[in-house]
Structure 1
Amino acid sequence: MSVKMSHPDYSAQGWQQIVVSLDGPVAIVKLNRAKQRNSITIPVVRDLVAAYDILDRDDRVRVVVLTADHTAHAFCSGADLSSGWGGLFSEEDERQGRHTHRDSGGTVTLAIFRCRKLTIAAVNGHAAGVGITGLQLPCDFRFVWAGAKLAFPFVRRGIVPEAISTYLLPRLIGYSRAVGLLLSGGTYSPDSPLLQGLYHATFPNREDVLPAALAFARELAANTSQTGVAWTKALLWRGADSIEGQHILDSRGIADLASRGDAAEGAQAFKEHRAVRFSDVLSRDLSDFVPWWTELDVRQRKAKL
């Protein structure tokens, strides 16, 4: 069962790189470095990781939308390389050596991926590198401006694709398309055949992306169960290695949720031909069985003497 937390004041968190606000049960996370094309730095990473951790545990929140100011030059131009690659290494990396390094983009990916709420990326500008791999791929839904330039430049910069994209991208769009994107290092538009299936909706005007994403988020928040969503996300990404094993996990989820208030409400609303009024929350109603997997400890480790 999750640890219950008091309602946090997002304006009082001291975050400088992002702005977090609530629109009812929908949280909006807006990148706040428009003059720097919303490029990613270690402080941005820290703010995003902290925000998604709190949003995951805030029972008021049902959907999280990540976006940027549509008037900015870019949704996210990727890593800030103004001081070279060294700007993406922490002081701990420098002290302990390369074996301790943990890709900063990957920590953002994990924070969004581990969020048990529904997550949406509203991509209302150009995006490159971690602006795609770290901010979009781990989200459940992705809305995009049709005019966006989407760059996967890694092999053309002498590095590997970051933010765990070599794990996520093949699972989202297939191995062949992922190979085409990551090994070419090219820049593509949302209608490219290589990106087929990645975006759930495309909009001709960049100012229309966020309103559409918010409308979709509100519809999801009103009609989906918080515990049902958390269970389903876990089953999709943390499923068993066999069809029989998945049957056991599915059955456990059905048996657990059928005894909860949201399942009773869902059935009653169906019988009465009315909108649902779900009230179960993760801190109180999510089974202790979740998580059933063991997460790897990805924290930095000091060298043995």
Structure 2
Amino acid sequence: MPSVDYTQQGFTSIRVNIDKGVAIVTLCRSNQRNTFVEATVADIVKAYDLFDRDDCVRVVLMTAEQDSPAFCAGAELSKGWGSLFTPEVEEEGDTFHRDSGGIVTLAIFRCRKITMVAVNGHAVGVGITGLQLPCDIRFAWAGTKLAFPFVRRGIAPEAASSYLLPKLLGNSRALSLFLTGATVTPDSPLLSGLYHTILPNREDVFPAALALAKDLAENTSMTAVAVSKALVWRGYDNIEEQHVLDSRAIRVLATGGDANEGATAFMQRRPPKFSDAPGSLKQWMPWWREVAVVPRKAKL
């Protein structure tokens, strides 16, 4: 049983239910094409923080209602762009704010569990940048229409997409998508590699994603997942330092119960029963803030 009652959290733009270690997040503003509003921000930030801390949740899967006309049709613009930003505040002499799409991106990105999305409808703007790019694994319906329309609306890419999209696709394809604002489908060469699976039938997207989510929830170690995600996104930009970091990660994990259970289960030819929680890594993670990993000088 989950340690959190997700039906009592006051969510209005999403529904959350737990199925065998998988937290299913369903966007439920179908009559409004799941446009991005303040409630969306508040609900997703709260939910993903809870998922991160709930050891009964191993995988998070976001989707839209099957009959929704869109997965997410982008930002709700009836009140103008101003509603998409936090109020400006003063900090250390500078005035700044945060775009709400980026706040959602960071909430999903920082979740230490496996994050997945089943895109079963059209997605525009923040429907891609904030709800898809920060996820680990993406499924999509082949008929989905996708667009990054920012330059055609007089604004710049938001939701930290100017960081994530080039990292995921490379600068050339990211610029093609950003600067043309073209509408594409998941199988476009410009999106090559972004989606784990693209399915021809809309109704098959969520079941296929859920099947993988349940498999991962049952057969992966939460601590190994958290470390693997951090190594990819928080690593170094040269092979020597990354080698030191990889080595340290293996050593830290090897002292945990999951590593012993993984080896034992393999030898006994049975499914593993992993029980370590990400909280057990607090002595080491986040190393990018607390641990200085400096490689020894090579002997010439």
Tell me, what secondary structure is at the counterpart of 1:158?
A: coil
**Are positions 1:280 and 2:276 aligned together?**
yes
**Are positions 1:244 and 2:231 aligned together?**
no
Tell me, what secondary structure is at the counterpart of 2:95?
A: helix
Offset at 1:24? Answer: 1.6
Offset at 1:43? Answer: 1.7
**Are positions 1:189 and 2:189 aligned together?**
no
Offset at 1:293? Answer: 1.5
**Corresponding residue of 1:262:** 258
Tell me, what secondary structure is at the counterpart of 2:71?
A: strand
Residue type at the aligned position of 2:215: E
Q: TM-score, normalising length from structure 1?
A: 0.91
Identity score, percent: 62
Distance 2:278 2:200 in 1: 37
Residue type at the aligned position of 1:294: R
Tell me, what secondary structure is at the counterpart of 1:19?
A: strand
- Which 4+ runs in 1 deviate beyond 4 A? none
Distance 1:294 1:159 in 2: 33
Offset at 1:184? Answer: 0.5
Match 1:64 to one of 60, 83, 99: 60
**Are positions 1:173 and 2:169 aligned together?**
yes
Query: Are the aligned partners of 1:256 and 1:287 in contact in 2 as well (CA < 8 Å)?
Result: no
**Corresponding residue of 1:124:** 120
Residue type at the aligned position of 2:272: V
**Corresponding residue of 1:293:** 288
Match 1:41 to one of 19, 37, 51: 37
Q: Could you give the per-residue CA deviations for residues 125-180 of structure 1, whole angstroms, max 9, x where no partner exists?
A: 00000000000000000000010000110000000011111100111111111111
Offset at 1:260? Answer: 0.8
Offset at 1:94? Answer: 8.9
Q: How does 1:1-305 map to 2 (within 5 A)?
A: 7-90=3-86, 92-93=87-88, 99-283=95-279, 285-294=280-289
Residue type at the aligned position of 1:260: G
Residue type at the aligned position of 1:175: N
Query: Are the aligned partners of 2:89 and 2:95 in contact in 1 as well (CA < 8 Å)?
Result: no
Q: TM-score, normalising length from structure 2?
A: 0.92
Tell me, what secondary structure is at the counterpart of 2:23?
A: strand
Higher relative contact order (CA 8 A, sep 6+): 1
Which stretches in structure 1 are left out of the alignment for 5+ residues? 1-5, 296-305
Residue type at the aligned position of 1:126: H
Which stretches in structure 2 are left out of the alignment for 5+ residues? 291-300
Distance 1:59 1:193 in 2: 38
Offset at 1:287? Answer: 4.2
